[in-house]
Structure 1
Amino acid sequence: MKAVAFYLIYPILWIISRLPFPIVYLISDFFYFITYYILGYRKEVIKSNIRIAFPKKNEKEITRLAKKSTQHFCDIFIEMIKSMGMSKKSMKKRFICTNPEMVNVLAKAKKPLIVMFGHQASYEWTMVLDDVLDYKVYAIYKPLKNKRLNDLIVNIRKKFNSELVAMREATAVMNKSVQTEAALFALVADQSPKAGRAQYFTNFFNVPSAVFKGAERIAKEHHTAVFFLRITKVKRGYYETEFVNITSNGGETKDWEITDTFFQLLEEQIIKQPEYYLWSHKRWKSTLENTKRAVELSPRVQQ
């Protein structure tokens, strides 16, 4: 049944990917109307998250942000589809990196690198960076249950020759690659573990938040450089990115330094453009009360 649905929808996606951007965004606007006003997709989750992150905002402001965030979510989805039919030249014009030389100098020295970013602005179009970096790029991702849809998205994301690695295989691949090649590992690092797996907690918007520390663990073990990728939305369909150094050598950092710095930088970025963050995912579903493991607290929580 899933295969039939995929083959029915694929021609529509192909057509959309060939349409000019003005029409593509009209389609996105239509999806937004259905998503927010008809389906009410995760509307209360979005508003609840915004209330937690911005307790001083009134309900009018929260509703405004919820609408804009949902509209941006629809744009991200339609832009991913549109990228199927976009040339490299067009994508590089719309997704600009201001300082690729900052990490390329490390590639020349054959130093492995971890790049961390969040669900902010255009996390899907980060694949464009593969074409301006001198590294072999491994993108860590979470596979979808629908195999055909997952394969389609993987092929879209591999457009610039990065290699996609499933989250469950990430640690093994990273451990092997940092010893054999100059590789860059790109991962969306603000994922929230389920209550059954939640163990590490840091402060995110002044709330104890469950996080993963895998990137920090690898960086410390292999003395890997770590960068934060700041992604700013300039206007609809145009983004600008900047690499921000977290550490040149993870092995020389204190415990929690990498993870805490990442979440601090991400929080600062979100505050500047809160409407472009993915508030629909349940960021605070795991708490200190419902976790089933022995908890380790970041110094930011203990302060």
Structure 2
Amino acid sequence: MKAVGFYLIYPILWIISRLPFPIVYVLSDFFYFITYYIIGYRKEIIKNNLRIAFPNKDEKEITRLAKKSTQHFCDIFIEMIKSMGMSKMSMKKRFLCKNPETVNAFAKAKRPLIVMFGHQASYEWTMVLDEVLDYKVYAIYKPLKNKRWNTLIVNIRKKFNSELVAMKEATAAMKESAEKEAALFALVADQSPMAGRAQYFTNFFNVPSAVFKGAERIAREHQTAVVFLRVTKVKRGYYETEFVNITTNGAETKDWQITDTFFQLLEEQIIKQPEYYLWSHKRWKSTLENTKHAVELSPRVQQ
């Protein structure tokens, strides 16, 4: 049945990917209406996350942000489909990088690099950056359970010749690469561990939040440079990116410095455009109370 569903839906996605953007966004608006008003997809999760992050905002503003966030979520989904039929030139015009030289300087020095970014603005189109970077790029991703859909998503994301690495294989791949070549690893670093399995906590919007520290461990162990990728939505279908240095050498940083700097930069970015963050994921599902492991607290939590 899964195979039948895939082969029935794929032609529709192919057609959508060839439609002009104005029509594509009409479809996105339709999906938004169904998602928010009919299905109510994670509506209360989105609103509750917004209440936690912005306790001073009233319910009217929380509702407005929830609607805008859901609409943006639909745009991201439709833009991912649209990218199947877009030329590289078209995508580069819509996803600009302000300072690729910041990263290419590390490549010229043959330094391995980790790029950390969050579920803010467009995280799907970050693959476009491969075209302007002088690195072999490895993108860390979470595979889908359905193999056919996963293959489709992988093929879309490999359009600019980056290599995809499954999340569970990321640490091993990063260690192996650090010993062989100066590669770039890009990862969405604001993922939250499963409830009860969290071990590391930092402050995110003044709330103790479970995080992963894998990128920091690799950077400190292999003297890897680390940058934050700031993605800003300019208008519908157009984005600007900017690389922000976190460290030129992870081995020279203090414990938690890389992780905490990333979350601080991400939080600042979200505050500027809160409607473009993926509030539908359960950011605070893991707490200090429900975890089953001995926890390690960031200095930001201990303050």
Sort the TM-score into its range (normalised by shorter chain): over 0.9
Q: CA shift at 1:274, angstroms?
A: 0.1
The equivalent of 2:163 in structure 1 is: 163
Equivalent AA in structure 2 for residue 196 of structure 1: G
What's the secondary structure of 1:101's corresponding residue?
Answer: helix
> d(CA) in 2 for partners of 1:148 and 1:105?
38
Residue pairs, 1:120-199, within 5 angstroms: 120-199=120-199
The equivalent of 1:11 in structure 2 is: 11
What's the secondary structure of 1:135's corresponding residue?
Answer: coil
> d(CA) in 2 for partners of 1:151 and 1:99?
32
Equivalent AA in structure 2 for residue 248 of structure 1: T
Equivalent AA in structure 1 for residue 162 of structure 2: S
> d(CA) in 1 for partners of 2:111 and 2:46?
40
What's the secondary structure of 2:264's corresponding residue?
Answer: helix
Q: CA shift at 1:179, angstroms?
A: 1.2
Equivalent AA in structure 1 for residue 3 of structure 2: A
The equivalent of 1:109 in structure 2 is: 109
Q: CA shift at 1:183, angstroms?
A: 0.3
User: What do the CA deviations read for 1:199-249 (whole angstroms, capped 9, x no partner)?
Assistant: 000000000000000000000000000000000000000000000000000
Q: CA shift at 1:37, angstroms?
A: 0.1
Equivalent AA in structure 1 for residue 225 of structure 2: A
Alignment gaps of 5+ in structure 2: none
Residue pairs, 1:88-107, within 5 angstroms: 88-107=88-107
Q: CA shift at 1:170, angstroms?
A: 0.4
> d(CA) in 1 for partners of 2:167 and 2:147?
16
The equivalent of 2:261 in structure 1 is: 261
Aligned-CA RMSD value: 0.4
Q: CA shift at 1:195, angstroms?
A: 2.2
Q: CA shift at 1:109, angstroms?
A: 1.1
> d(CA) in 1 for partners of 2:211 and 2:101?
30
The equivalent of 1:239 in structure 2 is: 239
Q: CA shift at 1:270, angstroms?
A: 0.1
- Residue 213 of structure 2 is aligned to residue 220 of structure 1: no
- Residue 297 of structure 2 is aligned to residue 297 of structure 1: yes
The TM-score normalised by the length of structure 2 is 1.00
The TM-score normalised by the length of structure 1 is 1.00
Equivalent AA in structure 2 for residue 42 of structure 1: R
What's the secondary structure of 1:208's corresponding residue?
Answer: strand
Equivalent AA in structure 1 for residue 135 of structure 2: Y
- Residue 226 of structure 2 is aligned to residue 211 of structure 1: no
Residue pairs, 1:51-90, within 5 angstroms: 51-90=51-90
The equivalent of 1:281 in structure 2 is: 281
Q: CA shift at 1:250, angstroms?
A: 0.2
- What is the number of residues matched between the two proteins? 303
Alignment gaps of 5+ in structure 1: none
The equivalent of 1:230 in structure 2 is: 230
What's the secondary structure of 1:57's corresponding residue?
Answer: coil
What's the secondary structure of 1:193's corresponding residue?
Answer: coil
What's the secondary structure of 2:159's corresponding residue?
Answer: helix
What's the secondary structure of 2:265's corresponding residue?
Answer: helix
Moved more, 194-203 or 285-294: 194-203
> d(CA) in 2 for partners of 1:159 and 1:186?
15
- Residue 200 of structure 2 is aligned to residue 200 of structure 1: yes
What's the secondary structure of 1:159's corresponding residue?
Answer: coil
Equivalent AA in structure 2 for residue 126 of structure 1: T
Task: Among all aligned residue pairs of Structure 1 and Structure 2, give the percentage whose two residues are the same amino acid.
Answer: 88
Q: CA shift at 1:196, angstroms?
A: 3.1
What's the secondary structure of 1:258's corresponding residue?
Answer: helix
> d(CA) in 2 for partners of 1:195 and 1:67?
27
User: What do the CA deviations read for 1:93-115 (whole angstroms, capped 9, x no partner)?
Assistant: 00000000111011011100000
